[in-house]
Amino acid sequence: MNELTKKFVLIYGDVFVDYIADDQTNKQFTKYLGGATVNVAAGVARLGASSSFITVSGDDETSEFVRSELIAEGVDLTFAQIVPEKRVSGVYVHLTENNDRHFHTYVDETPDLQVNFSTLKQEVFQQASIFHFCSGTLFHPTARQTTRDIVNQMEKSHVLLSFDANIRPLRWESEELCRKIISSFFHQVDILKLTEEELFFLTETKTREEGIRKLRDFQIPIVLITVGAEGTYIVIDDETIHVEVKKVIPVDTTGAGDAFMAGILSKINMNGKPNTKEEWIDYVSFGNRLGAICATKPGALSAMPRAAEL
């Protein structure tokens, strides 16, 4: 992206290398550029919208690999930072019998080297149309404060705030802290995306209806609850709307939720925020379609759909 005056989807998070199991034996792995926020940033760009990514990487070969891959995907790195000592994190992803992903082991050599809010270029806050983040870095105090500072600044600038819980329990010291930190952002966001399992976990409920009732206390304008092959539930204006998805034969569900969010955010970036329930159903149907396409291919970023495929 050469024109910094152009509005873009701004995304903050870690760059990751995903080591994804080749089959259900989980003994051999293939390396992919990954991480939920990376997938969304690249997914948005693949759909023809503008995306810019705030992250930190180092001066080693792996860091250079992820930066070159992101640039090749069309993701703007104007606001990304390079700290020579930083090492990119990795995660080993196992496959279950149903080809669902299981995040088995995280590798993070430099967890304390994070983006500091005070070092961010100020123009980023005027040029974003949407700010999207996940909980993937919220377990770390510095990253958590950076996220909170960005959210506060974006809220002042009336930028649309999008939050995908994307919970990875292994990264948190306790379930209680995880719930407390993630839910502390709910009162500020415009769009919240959860899986049904995350809804149950965060609200400590056992039914979708009960979980949705608990979320209403936060007065979140739009809640999107993805339920895999059953599609998505939109919670808007105290109404819950079910949007179905065309059934596919899944090969690997890694990144399907990220493809879904990339579809929603790219639509908003290019066409504006929906003003009616009918428009939201259209946007979510598009996101569902992208998530389904992603699930038919191995990998996460490698499976993100491109505009030409649609």
| 289, part of any domain | yes
Q: What is the pLDDT of residues 41-84, one digit of tens each?
A: 999 999 999 999 999 999 999 899 899 999 999 999 999 999 99
| 137, part of any domain | yes
| 162, part of any domain | yes
Enter the pTM of the model.
0.90
**pLDDT value of residue 70:** 95
| 3, part of any domain | no
**pLDDT value of residue 274:** 96
CATH number of the domain where residue 45 is located: 3.40.1190.20
Cα-based distances in Å from 31 to 66, 106, 115, 244:
11, 14, 25, 33
| 219, part of any domain | yes
**pLDDT value of residue 6:** 56
| 170, part of any domain | yes
Say which residues have a Cβ less than 8 Å from residue 139's Cβ, sequence separation at least 6. 171, 172, 173, 178, 181
**Hey, which bits of the chain come out as E strands?**
8-12, 16-21, 29-34, 51-54, 56-57, 81-82, 89-95, 101-107, 128-134, 160-164, 191-195, 222-226, 232-236, 239-243
Weakly modelled stretches of the chain, pLDDT under 70? 1-6, 299
Q: Which domain holds residue 66?
A: 8-305
| 1, part of any domain | no
| 204, part of any domain | yes
The secondary element (H helix, E strand) that includes residue 293 is helix 277-295
**pLDDT value of residue 212:** 97
- The Cα–Cα gap between 276 and 131 comes to 21
Q: In the chain, how many domains are there?
A: 1
